[in-house]
Amino acid sequence: MGSVWWVVCEVATRVGARNIRPAGRVVRAASPHVRTHPGRRHREEVTRMSSTVELTKENFDQTVLDNDFVLIDFWATWCGPCRQFAPVYEQAAEENPDLVFGKVDTEAQPELAAAFGIQSIPTLMIVRDRVAVFAQPGALPESALTDVIGQARELDMDEVRKSIEEQQAAPDGQ
């Protein structure tokens, strides 16, 4: 499957495509803009956009905490490539009803975009068990998105967590 790209993605953590390193370095940066909300939110409180969930600073943390596998599309209405990617992302959401497909409108949610260091849109991020296992800017074609979802499904998260622990235990942090 090639090298695994991951970073720790805990609640109130900033993750951006520029910060991702091939398996070997954990990047963590706390963000004051994304806060944990006490209590459990009911899934009905999350706004649905067709087969996708509208993610906001109010529901982002709980969505990631409550779900083992979340795909996140950072987008904006004025973005041409975002509009081209939207039907591909929507189709993937319909074909994978067991996964959560979220969308962050970077214009309406600048705090989330800033917290994750989003500098280019669209950016796709995949979070499994609160670990970002994929983040990449650019509109993916259908076949590439299907492949990325398949690779993320096949990841052994115990191995990923073990690798994270080893990296955190390394004396120089690398």
Which pair of structure tokens corresponds to residue 154? 């096949």
Q: Which residues of 161-171 are buried (b: 16+ CB within 10 A; e: fewer)?
A: eebbeebeeee
Q: Which residues of 120-141 are buried (b: 16+ CB within 10 A; e: fewer)?
A: ebbbbbbbbbbbbbbbbbebbe
How many whole angstroms separate alpha carbon 27 and alpha carbon 152? 19
How many whole angstroms separate alpha carbon 158 and alpha carbon 91? 30
Our answer to whether residue 9 is catalytic in this structure is no
Our answer to whether residue 82 is catalytic in this structure is yes
Could you identify the residue written with the tokens 């996140």? 72
Contact 14, 31 (CB under 8 A): yes
Active-site residue (options: 82, 124, 132, 145): 82
Active-site residue (options: 64, 79, 124, 148): 79
| Catalytic residue numbers, as ranges | 79, 82
